[in-house]
Amino acid sequence: MCAVIDLTNRVKSIEYAIRDVVVYAKKLEKTGKKILYLNIGDPCKYDFDTPQHIKEAYCEAIKKGYNWYSDSKGLPELREAIAEKEKRVNNIDIDPENVIVTSGISEAIKMVIAALIDNGDEILVPGPTYPPYIAYTKFFGGKPVAYRCIEEEGWQPDIEDIRNKISEKTKILVIINPNNPTGALYNEKTIKEILNIAAEHELVVVSDEIYDQIVYEKRHTNTAKIANEIPVVVFNGFSKVYLAPGWRLGYMYFYDPEGKLENLREGIEKEARIRLSVNTPAQVAAITALRGPQDHIKEMVEKLRKRRDYTWKRLNEIDGITCAKPEGAFYAFPKINLGNKWKNDKEFVLGLLENTGVLVVFGSGFDPTYGKNHFRTVFLPPLETLEEAFDKLEKYVTS
C-alpha cells in the first residue's frame, strides 16, 4: 500500500475564511436546510448582473477569434483604456507601459508579495484586512503584521501604530481603500501621513482600490494622485465596479515618478510571462467596459446605498451588536458582545449558521487581533433577503 503523500507546510497553512465557511454551509445545505449566503462579495450572486453591452462584447470577442494567448502584460489597447479610465476617474496620468493586467486582484497580490518577500520579511496590512494579504505573505515565508484601524473612528488607520510596527524587516505597507472587510473610506490626510511614513522608511506602498467607484457620502481619494514623488503600486479590477467577478480580470499600475520601482516592475513582468497571459476575450470585453456607457455604476451605488442604510440600522438595533457605518464597498463589520454564550467569533458564526442558516464570515479570519469578536456581512442581497437574515440573526443573538 502506498503511503499518504505529505504536503508542504506552506500549503498546509493556507486559510481563507471567506470561502472556508462555505464548506460548513454546503454540508448543511445537503440536509435540506435553506442557507442565506451573506459571506462573499460577489454582486452577481444576487440581483446584480454584468451590463448587457459588456457581455455582448465578450461573446463577440470569442466569435471574432480573440481566443489566442495575449501579451503577458495584457492587451496594449486594454492597458491604454485603463490609463484613460484612471485619468477620467482619478485625474492621474499613467503610462500604459506601467500597467500589468492580472487574473483578478488576487494574482496581483501574489505577484507583488512573491517579488518582494523572502523568509522573515514583514508586510504591514490594515487590521482587519483582506485575507489573501495574510495568506500569501505566509506562503512565501514572510510575516504579516497588522496595524490597528480605529473602529470608533470609522475604522481609520492608527498612524502611530503604523510607525510603531515598522521594523528593519518591513518591506511593504498596504492600504485598502475603500476597505474590505470594514467598508471604511480613508480620508486624504490619513493617506498622506501613511505615504510620508512609507517614504521615510523606504517601503513599497501597495494601494488596493478595487472599490474606488463604490462610495456613498464621500469621494474616494486615489493614493497615487496625492503621492507626489513617492512611488505607489495600485491594484484595481473589473469584478466589483463592472460586475464581472467570474471573469477574473484585474490590473496593477506603477506610479513611479523617479524610477524607484523599475526592478519591481521588471520582476513582476517575469512572473507574468511564466503564467503566459490573462483571459484574452475577457480583456477585449474589458475595453468596452471602460470606454462604453458607465450608467450602471450610479444605479448600482444607489441600490447599494439603500441596502447599506438598512443593514447599518438593523445591526445597531440588535442588542449585543454594534456596527460602524460603511462608507464604501458593500461590507459591514459588526462587533458582537460574545458574553458567556460563545467562546469566540468563529463559534458564533458557525452556531448562527447551524441554527438559522445565515452564513457570515468570522472576524478573526480577517485578523486574529483586530478582527476578533466581529463578523463580516455583505449587504448585496435585496432588502427582503436582508430582512429575513437579520430577523434570524436578532432572534439567535437575543434568544
The 10s digit of each residue's pLDDT in 99-139 is 999 999 999 999 999 999 999 999 999 999 999 999 999 99
pLDDT tier at 8 (50, 70, 90 boundaries)? confident
Dmax over CA atoms of the chain, in Å, equals 64
CA distance linking residue 161 with residue 197, whole number of Å: 11
Chain-centroid distance of CA 361 in Å reads 14
Three cell numbers written together for 150: 480605529
Determine the 3-state secondary structure of 30 from DSSP: helix
**What pLDDT is stored for residue 10 in this prediction?**
79
Q: Which CATH number fits domain 9-49+296-398: 2.60.40.1180, 3.90.1150.10, 3.40.50.300, 3.40.190.10?
A: 3.90.1150.10
Distance, in Å, from the CA atom of 121 to the CA atom of 170, rounded to the nearest integer, reads: 6
Closest by alpha carbon to 110, among 239, 275, 220?
Answer: 275
Amino acid 399: pLDDT: 85
Average pLDDT taken over every residue of the chain = 94
Helix axes 295-317, 383-398, angle to 10 degrees: 20
pLDDT at 45 over 70: yes
- Going by pLDDT thresholds of 50, 70 and 90, the confidence category of residue 294 is very high
State the pLDDT at residue 2: 62
Q: Strands 143-150 and 122-127: what pairing? A: parallel
Q: Does the structure show a pLDDT above 70 at 1?
A: no
Q: Which CATH number fits domain 52-291: 3.40.50.720, 3.40.640.10, 3.30.70.260, 2.40.10.10?
A: 3.40.640.10
- List the chain domain ranges: 9-49+296-398, 52-291
Q: What is the mean pLDDT of residues 359-370?
A: 94
Average pLDDT over residues 143-163: 97
Closest CA to 61 of 248, 283, 278, 245: 283
Q: What one-character DSSP code corresponds to residue 66?
A: -
Position 17 scores a pLDDT of 66
Taking residues 317-335, report their average pLDDT.
Answer: 97
**Cβ-based neighbours of 389, under 8 Å, separated by 6 or more:** 36, 38, 358, 377, 381
Q: Percent of the chain scored above 70 by pLDDT?
A: 99
At residue 104's C-alpha, the angle toward residues 23 and 210, to 5°, is 100
pLDDT exceeds 80 at position 270: yes
Three-state SS for 77? helix
Of the candidates 34, 71, 125, the one whose C-alpha atom is nearest the C-alpha of residue 284 is: 71
